[in-house]
Amino acid sequence: MKLFENLKFVVVDEVHQYRGVFGSHVANVLRRLRRVARFYGSDPLFICCSATIANPGELASRLTGLPMAEIARNGAPRGQKHFIFYNPPVVNQELGIRQSVLKSTRRIAERFMSSGAQMIVFARSRMRVELLLTYLEKAGRRVGIKSGDVRGYRGGYLPGERRAIEQGLRDGSVTTVVSTNALELGIDIGRLDVCIMAGYAGTVASTWQQAGRAGRRQNLSAVVLVASSSPADQYIINHPDYFFGRSPEHATLDADNLVILLSHLKCAAFELPFLAGEQYGEQEITEILDYLVDQGVLHRSGERYHWMADTYPAEDVSLRSAAPDNVVIIDHKTPGGRVIGEMDLFSAQEMLHDDAVYLHGAQQYHVDKLDWERREAHVMPVTVEYYTDAQRKSELKTLTAEERRPYGYGELALGEIGLVSKVTVFKKIKLGTHENVGAGRVHLPEIEMHTVSFWWELPTDVIDEMVAAGLDLGDGLQGLAHLLGRVAPVFVMADPSDLRATAMVRSPFTDRPTLYIYDAFPGGVGYARRIHQQFDEICASAREHLDGCPCDKGCPSCVGPAVESGGTARQAAAWLLNRAGMAAAGA
């Protein structure tokens, strides 16, 4: 109580990280903090610190709900840092396929391991972390490094396991750690010598944040960015001025996402009763509070809404996910079972389905059964020469168009869409060579989700125009979806997995050829809205990247391999982007 009465300052560090789902959650946490502080008679001053992004003042204001004054000068000490961009060689000239980013990262990391340098390797996904950890553990043993000195770190590990790894990095007993962006900020892990990034981190700010894990203050350090074949990675690796110059990235969040807002309103009601007509942020919430009364969560007494459920609402809120439920992973080799981790529902369908091989700390586990109803995955340790990779199929339905504007060549729109997705099959991938050595079926229920999407409706006569030019509209839309779906995240500070892009030659909703780019989270978190605002800039960069790609008919670095996107995908996508450029210029 005295804490809130005497609260004068609140310092929020690493503000650029509070974007998307995470930022939307934190904005609601700060709303709750300010609400409790006001109740006890205090109104603290907020001080926010951010890496360089295009809109730090705007982001801080949306995060705190307060007007902010921006100070842009940087006086932090810096040691000498060697920053190396490495583009793996092309191994298939016809398809434009480069050497695997995992194999390239593994080879570079092994050289640093043999030199005795303390190192962190960042990977873009849980699966990549576990694969690199498996490879580097074996490589470390060849040069006399014990298995426990090479560790993995990611979401899904239990808190005690993560704290032990952090301590090992600080005292030097852990010489190499392979991590997702979970170790990017906010955790003291000491001073490391080398940072290797297996793929572009998704934003300039996050890449610098990861690079900053090596060589604190005046120390000499090395940073290596290993590019994958994705268009975003290739754009960065071939446009170093974009990376080393001033960041053009705009961070965004949506504190009023209904799924997230509802969770935090429950927590806020538990902390203090709501008054009828009370504002929460900029939201009028009476209708939502009445809904919670109908659900038996709140009780209205006069002009107050009181918490009445038996549960503690914060237990159901994950700041990293828009959906509250998780699957618990239980190792049954131990009598009675031992919980080794947890995972969100969406990822669990892909990584914990029946007969999956789940990797945890370089240990392989066979998933004997995924009990979907009980939210439990039952696993047993195994040693096999492969891992599994599941395939998800999605069906999109447009629900409403909230905003529309003419675009010169068609129309741009923003609105709500419905998605039905399902994991149907999985592949068995051989460790080391990454060959496909088998497959299997997955039998799990569909997951339904409503989210926010941007879309570009093309004019109906585009088919005839492209046929006259000897191009195929389907190829062009498929290639454009591949390209824009991977270039757009660079501009809106999103991870590539935060957005999805799909194209329809004839959308049932618009009755026209339509390209959709949508938020991959329930309710949306603001990415699609930002794309709607920055579409001209995104298209211009996509066109520049496509013009500079050395392939003939398409490759993973631009519109996707020609065998997937179609034989005219590159030329047709360029034709559509040129029409977008003419529209932006008002031609």
pLDDT by 10s per residue, the chain, length 587: 688 889 999 999 888 888 888 889 999 999 999 999 999 999 999 999 887 677 889 999 999 999 999 987 766 666 788 999 999 998 877 767 788 999 999 999 999 998 888 999 999 888 899 999 999 998 888 888 887 899 999 877 888 888 899 899 888 899 999 998 888 766 767 678 999 999 998 778 788 888 888 876 566 889 999 998 888 888 888 888 878 875 556 788 888 888 889 889 999 999 999 998 888 988 889 999 999 999 888 999 988 999 988 778 887 777 666 555 789 999 998 888 899 988 888 889 999 999 999 998 888 999 999 999 999 999 999 999 999 999 988 888 878 888 999 887 889 999 999 989 899 999 999 988 888 999 999 999 998 888 999 999 999 899 899 999 999 999 999 999 999 998 898 888 887 788 999 999 999 889 999 999 999 888 888 899 999 999 999 999 999 989 988 888 888 888 988 777 778 899 999 999 998 887 666 64
The CA distance from 346 to 331, in Å, is 21
DSSP for 209-230, please give it: HHHTTBS-TT--EEEEEE--SS
Classify residue 487 by its DSSP letter.
Answer: H
Side chain identity, residue 548: G
The pLDDT value recorded for residue 253 is 84
Give the Å distances, CA to CA, from 230 to 226, 547, 555, 557.
12, 15, 9, 5
> Using only C-alpha atoms, what is the Rg of the chain?
25
The CA distance from 234 to 352, in Å, is 32
Structure tokens at 514: 């339509």
Q: What is the pTM assigned to this prediction? A: 0.71
Classify residue 297 by its DSSP letter.
Answer: S
Structure tokens at 281: 């942020």
Structure tokens at 275: 């008054």
The pLDDT value recorded for residue 72 is 78
471 touches 571 (CB < 8 A): yes
- The answer for residues whose C-beta is within 8 angstroms of residue 163's C-beta and 6 or more apart is none
Which residue from 493, 492, 497, 538 is spatially nearest to 521, judged by alpha carbons? Answer: 497
Which residue from 468, 586, 458 is spatially nearest to 514, judged by alpha carbons? Answer: 458
The pLDDT value recorded for residue 293 is 92
Residue with tokens 């339905």: 397
- Largest Cα span, the chain: 75
Strands 119-123 and 499-504: unpaired
The number of C-alpha atoms within 13 Å of 544 and in the hemisphere containing its C-beta is 14
Give the Å distances, CA to CA, from 194 to 11, 26, 148.
30, 31, 19
The pLDDT value recorded for residue 554 is 84
- The answer for residues whose C-beta is within 8 angstroms of residue 276's C-beta and 6 or more apart is 286, 300, 303, 304, 305
170 touches 203 (CB < 8 A): no
